[in-house]
Every structure is written in C-alpha cells, then in structure tokens.
C-alpha cells in the first residue's frame, strides 16, 4: 500500500535544449515553450487537486523558474522553494556548450549516446581554457554550497550525480516526506534520472534506456520503507509524452 507520494520533474524546455547544446551547469533560462510547459504542469496538478508543501530545485535558473511558474499556475506561490547544488544537472565537463549532433558527426552517435546515458562513464573534465569555466566557477551561487568551490565537480557520470544527490535526498528530502509533506522536485534530465534509478531500484543497464521529457511531472508512490508500490506515472497526455521523449532521444542523431 502507498504511504507517500512525491513528484519528480525535469524543468521546462531550456533555451539551449532548442539549440541542441549540452547545457549542464551553464545557467540558461527557459525557452518560450519551456515557460508554457511549466505553467501547463501547474494547471495539471491543480486540476488533479494536489496541494504542495515544499518544492526543491537546483541552483540553476531553469529549474527555479519552473518551480515558480508551476506554483503560480497552481495558485500556491507561498509554498517554500528550497535550492541546492545537489540537484544541479549532471556536470558534463568539457562537453558543456557543444552541439550534440555535431558531436555525433565527430565521434559517432554511439559515443554520444554513451556519454549521455551510460551510468558510469565520465566525460572529459572541464578546465580553465573552456569558454564557460569562469562563468560557472566565478558565480557567487557556488560559494554558498555545503562543499568548498575547489571540491565541486569538473565532470560527472550519472553515478557521481547519485553519490552527491543521495545524502541530500536521505538527510533533507526524506524527512520532509516522512513528516507528511507533499514534495515536488524540479530538477534536470539527469539529476532526476539519478533519483529515479535510486527510487525505482533500476539496474545500471536499465537506466540507460530512461530518457525524461521536459516539463512532465512524474508521480512516484512509495511504501513506508520508501519502496515503489506501483510503476512511476508520467502525468499528462501519453502520446505527447512519448513524442517528447523521442525528441530528446533523437538529439544525438545526425
């Protein structure tokens, strides 16, 4: 029997999703479609009668704006929004800013798929010569983290994301859920995949086939031991959701 419910969602479409570039820790805003997606999620949850108690986001604007828009559409703007770097998108290292299809031209589609979806492959790290290095590491938000700047990642596999996310899930989010709070996590494609791997008990091989569309709330129902009681549910029009998943999967195609 389900004791707890939690929503996990990837933010609305970001400006660089449209340009097919690895965005990762670069702070791009939502595209016009991304704004519409976030509002539509809010309407969907409102119509279903949900009342949120707390929303967790990353430190990146696209995840925070998604939370704000969703809460506005629900008429629940007062609900606390808690930000943490531990929900940031996976750090794509030297791949940040690069176009996926161009990468496939140079390295092959299979290599790009491996970089994007494998569990324990870490892309080459970012270094100071990278065009976005200073923009990321000189940003004041990263002085507010619970680890000092020099220990923040320079590249991450999905496994690394789960390792930095899990202590926050266990220590901060789970206690809120246990207190009976309805929690929504407005995260990113890969921070949400890491969390779903953990919650759904997916194998390293199975997580490779999980791709998340933007702006789609995923409802997870858990028993008292935080084990799923039913398959996760992507809420909304199922045909549109499948099309949106295919669109993300096809980003590395030539």
Ligand X SMILES: O=C(O)[C@@H](COP(=O)(O)O)OP(=O)(O)O
List the structure tokens of 46. 């409102």
The reply on whether position 188 binds ligand X by CB under 6 A is yes
Mind giving me the DSSP string for 69-134?
Answer: HHHHHHT-TTS-EEE-GGGSPP--GGGTT-BHHHHHHHH-HHHHHHHHH-SS--PPPP-TTSTTHH
- The distance of closest approach from Cβ of residue 208 to ligand X in the complex, given in angstroms and rounded to an integer, is 12
Contacting range for ligand X; rule: CB under 6 A; set: 45-53, 135-143, 172-180, 185-193: 185-193
Residues 103-142, interacting with ligand X (CB under 6 A):
116
The reply on whether position 88 binds ligand X by CB under 6 A is no
Distances (CA, A) of 207 to 2, 30, 133, 183: 24, 26, 29, 23
Question: What is the phi-psi region of residue 108: left when phi exceeds 0, alpha when psi lies from -120 to 50, beta otherwise?
Answer: left
Among 14, 123, 215, 217, binds ligand X (CB under 6 A): 14
Q: How far does the chain reach from its first CA to its final CA, in angstroms?
A: 46
Among 122, 157, 190, 216, binds ligand X (CB under 6 A): 190
The reply on whether position 22 binds ligand X by CB under 6 A is yes
Distances (CA, A) of 172 to 5, 83, 139, 175, 199: 16, 12, 25, 6, 15
Q: Is 107 a catalytic residue?
A: no
- The distance of closest approach from Cβ of residue 171 to ligand X in the complex, given in angstroms and rounded to an integer, is 24
For residues 171 and 136, give the distance between their C-alpha atoms in angstroms, rounded to a whole number. Answer: 27
Q: Is 11 a catalytic residue?
A: yes
List the structure tokens of 237. 């029009």
Among 6, 10, 54, 186, binds ligand X (CB under 6 A): 10
236 annotated as ligand-binding: no
List the structure tokens of 132. 């976005």
90 annotated as ligand-binding: yes
List the structure tokens of 190. 């890969």
For residues 189 and 165, give the distance between their C-alpha atoms in angstroms, rounded to a whole number. Answer: 14
* Collapsed DSSP state (helix, strand, coil) of residue 187: strand
Apex CA 104: angle with CA 163 and CA 156, to 5°? 15
Among 6, 7, 9, 17, binds ligand X (CB under 6 A): 17
> Could you tell me how many residues of this chain bind ligand X (CB under 6 A)?
13
Contacting range for ligand X; rule: CB under 6 A; set: 17-25, 147-155, 200-208, 228-236: 17-25
Among 24, 31, 66, 84, binds ligand X (CB under 6 A): 24
Residue 53 or 232 with smaller CB distance to ligand X: 232
Catalytic residue (choose from 89, 156, 188, 252): 89
Residues annotated as catalytic are: 11, 89
Positions in the binding site for ligand X (CB under 6 A): 10, 14, 17, 22-24, 89, 92, 116, 188-190, 248
Could you list the residues known to form a binding site, using ranges: 62, 89-92, 116-117, 189-190
Could you list the residues known to form a binding site for substrate, using ranges: 62, 89-92, 116-117, 189-190
């Amino acid at each position: 029997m389900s004791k707890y419910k939690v929503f996990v969602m990837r933010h609305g479409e970001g400006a660089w999703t449209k340009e097919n570039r690895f965005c990762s820790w670069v702070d791009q805003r939502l595209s016009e479609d991304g704004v519409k997606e976030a509002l539509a999620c809010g309407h969907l949850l409102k119509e279903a009668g949900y009342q949120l108690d707390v929303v967790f986001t990353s430190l990146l604007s696209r995840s925070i704006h998604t939370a704000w828009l969703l809460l506005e559409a629900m008429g629940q703007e007062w609900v606390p929004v808690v930000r943490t770097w531990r929900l940031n998108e996976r750090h794509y290292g030297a791949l940040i800013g690069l176009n996926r299809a161009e990468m496939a031209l140079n390295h092959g589609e299979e290599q790009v798929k491996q970089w994007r979806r494998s569990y324990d492959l870490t892309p080459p790290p970012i270094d100071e010569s990278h065009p976005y290095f200073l923009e990321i590491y000189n940003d004041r938000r990263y002085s507010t983290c619970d680890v000092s700047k020099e220990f923040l990642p320079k590249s991450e596999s999905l496994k690394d994301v789960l390792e930095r996310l899990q202590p926050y899930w266990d220590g901060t989010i789970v206690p809120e859920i246990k207190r009976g709070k309805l929690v929504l996590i407005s995260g990113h494609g890969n921070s949400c995949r890491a969390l779903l791997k953990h919650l759904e008990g997916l194998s390293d091989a199975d997580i490779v086939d999980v791709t998340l569309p933007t702006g789609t709330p995923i409802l997870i129902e858990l028993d008292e031991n935080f084990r799923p009681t039913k398959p996760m549910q992507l809420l909304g029009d199922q045909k549109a959701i499948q099309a949106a998943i295919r669109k993300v999967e096809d980003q590395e195609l030539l």
